[in-house]
Each structure stands twice: as structure tokens, then as C-alpha cells.
Amino acid sequence: MRVVIQRVSAASVTIEQQVKSEISNGLLIFLGIEEADSQDDVEWLCRKIANMRVFPDEEGVMNKSLLEVDGEALVVSQFTLHASTKKGNRPSYIQAARPDTAIPLYELFVFKLQEQIEKEVQTGEFGADMKVSLVNDGPVTILMDTKNKH
């Protein structure tokens, strides 16, 4: 499971010219799921994200978590995070999970993150053509992969 996490002051998802979800201060999380991912990956990642200290404290040092700042979260599925660019010029997405595997894990991820931060998590729409807007605050952008936990 791979994520690109961006600390944002604002983010939104628009589908067919309609805003589906939007947040202010918080984290925009692009989530890529592969066939080998499991519930353990979901739980580990959600704990890490909720407690990751990427928000400024009173001295401006990144020392506070999403929980501590009462921040919001927006999760957007993004299979392209598993693109392989080793051969040719057209990325291969063979490692990305098929919908029958990916959708339940995506939904579990949203549910577990909601449990961790104790508030509703906003989402995109799995498989939809989405327009994502964001104001990256910092900028702070973090990449995580559950296959590289150590």
C-alpha cells in the first residue's frame, strides 16, 4: 500500500463539475493499493498517518499530529501510485490491485482512519475521473509504502 500525503490548508475533489468533498486544515491522502496488501497494511498506515507529527507547534516546529490539531482528512484512491516505468514510455499498472481487491481495502482504510482521528474522513470516488485541487501547506509532502515499514 502506497500513499502520498500532503499537508493542506484546503483540498477538494470535483467529479463531473460537482464538488464531492472538501477539507480545510488537514491531510490529503492519495492511496494506492496493490494485490499483496492486507488489513494489517491498512491498520499500520492509518495509525502512522493519524499520529505523524507534521503540523507546526507554537514555535513553528513540525511537532503536532493530525489528532492534536483536530485536522481533517481527504482520501483519494490513486492506482497510478503503483506505476512501473522500467520499460518503454507507457507506465504499467500491473501491480495495482483490481477493483475486487482494492475497493474493500479502500473502504476499510477510510473506516480505520475515521476510527483513528475520531471524525468523518472525506473521500473521492473510487474509479471516477476526479479533479483534485489543493493548497499544499509548507509544502509538506510525504511518501509511505507499507512494504518499507523498517
Angle between helix 99-117 and 39-51 (nearest 10): 40
For residue range 3-18, what is the model confidence (pLDDT) as tens digits? 999 999 999 999 999 9
What pLDDT score does 150 carry? Answer: 65
Whether 84 contacts 97, CB under 8 Å = no
Mean pLDDT of 86-97: 90
Catalytic residues: 80
Q: d(Cα 107, Cα 143) in Å, to the nearest integer?
A: 21
Q: Where are the domains of the chain?
A: 2-148
Residues in the chain: 150
Distance CA 150, CA 112 (A): 22
| CATH no. of 2-148 | 3.50.80.10
Arithmetic mean of pLDDT, 117-127 = 95
Region 122-127 average pLDDT: 93
pTM here is 0.95
